[in-house]
Amino acid sequence: MKIRIDQIQQHLKQGLKAIYFVSGDEPLQVMESTDTIRNAARQLDYTEREVMDVDSHFDWNQLLDAGNSLSLFAEKRIIELRLPSGKPGKQGSQVLIEYAQRPAEDAVLIITAGKLDSSAKNTKWFKALDQLGVVIQCWPISVQELPRWIEQRMRQKNLKPTTEAVSLLADRIEGNMLAAAQEIDKLYLLYGDAVIGIEEIASAVADSARYNIYDLVDSALTGDVVRAARISSGLKNEGIEPVLALWALSREVRLLAGFSESNISMDAAMTQARIWDSRKPLLKKALNRHGARRWRGFLRRCARIDRVIKGIEPGRPWDELLALTTQIAQTR
């Protein structure tokens, strides 16, 4: 059974299940989801706790042994299995299926994992956990949803943020939710339940934003010049290789250049290219800003940046990438 993060509390009011599988690439959400389940279990007298970390040397029989053995003091137990890769392997898959079919009566099993790829969701072990347990997938909070999430969390601490303060905090912690939670806790310690404006944010909150190359691409396609420049600077400071950013940008530019010259409808062309429905509006927005000639020009510029990175032509790779993303983001 799959449930969303915001459904966990309501689900737990109806009773505790024997198995929970929590996965995602956002550590804060995974941590807080497991904390909620663990606290609910403790309220039901699950007092004993056993933690297992899966690595290349892990013996999966430990999980079966823990499930088959009784607590020394007849106490109900919380068994936590940490699976960072999200890939249990052949033996682990068999053990998870076997445990799901016969879970321990005196224990609740909480499995945490990193982000799962699409193929993992079609495996027998995942389907067994989904059918016989509870699956909770933690999705990253989007840029559009982030300000609302920040404001709600600040108000839960009785802080009173202004709209400008929320916006500035979102800029400083984008992509790093754990840092966001820590900064909000710090603001409460510093200012209590006071009104929080941009002055308090500017003086108390460090710039902990964390980006990836896909954030750079999306900001360029969305048309957000300021965010594109901020992400470009962030990636450079983090030591990301410019060739990776160029790869992500050139892939999208090549795709959009093809769409701009297509003889069929845009929706049909995107369907043929197997573009996700959620991504189509973003690509259409970029196509509305530039025609086929401009996209071909962007593609030529990608080729030039590649030569700059290789040292064939003079220039600074990140400066060239910034110029390209700015041009894509801007309306001609």
pLDDT the model gives residue 316: 92
**Residue at which a domain ends, from 109, 138, 167:** 138
For residue 196, the domain's CATH number is: 1.10.8.60
Same domain flag for 17 and 96: yes
Q: Is the domain of 22 the same as that of 113?
A: yes
Please check whether residues 41 and 76 belong to one and the same domain: yes
Structural domain ending residue among the three candidates 204, 229, 249? 204
* pLDDT at 319 (0 to 100): 93
Do 134 and 21 share a domain, yes or no? yes
pTM of the model: 0.64
Backbone angles phi, psi at 145, to 5 degrees: -85, -20
Looking at the fold, whether 150 and 230 belong to one and the same domain comes out as no
User: Are residue 168 and residue 225 in the same domain, yes or no?
Assistant: no
Please tell me the predicted confidence (pLDDT) of residue 74. Answer: 56
Structural domain harbouring 127: 2-138
Question: Same structural domain for residues 222 and 250?
Answer: yes
Task: Give yes or no: residues 197 and 309 share one domain.
Answer: no
Give the other-Cβ count within 10 Å of 66's Cβ. 17
CB 242 within 8 A of CB 317: yes
Supply the CATH number for residue 31's domain.
Answer: 3.40.50.300
Give yes or no: residues 191 and 254 share one domain. no
pLDDT at site 287: 93
Choose one of 93, 112, 138: the last residue of a domain.
138
Across the chain, how many H-helices and E-strands are there? 16, 8
pLDDT at 275: 87
Number of structural domains the chain divides into: 3
- 44 with 166, same domain: the answer is no
Same domain, yes or no: 114 and 159: no
252 and 165 housed in the same domain = no
Report the CATH number that the domain containing residue 245 is assigned in CATH: 1.20.272.10
CA distances from 224 to 29, 35, 81 (A): 27, 37, 41
Decide: helix, strand or coil at residue 79: strand
Kindly give the confidence (pLDDT) of every residue in the chain, 332 residues in length, as a single tens digit, with 9 standing for 90 and above. 888 888 998 999 888 999 999 998 888 889 999 999 999 999 998 888 889 999 888 899 888 888 776 655 557 889 999 998 888 889 999 999 998 988 888 889 999 998 888 788 889 999 999 998 999 988 888 888 889 999 999 998 899 999 999 988 888 888 788 888 888 998 988 888 889 998 888 888 877 677 788 889 999 999 989 889 888 988 888 888 999 999 999 999 999 999 999 888 888 888 888 888 888 999 999 999 999 999 999 999 999 999 999 999 999 999 999 999 999 998 76
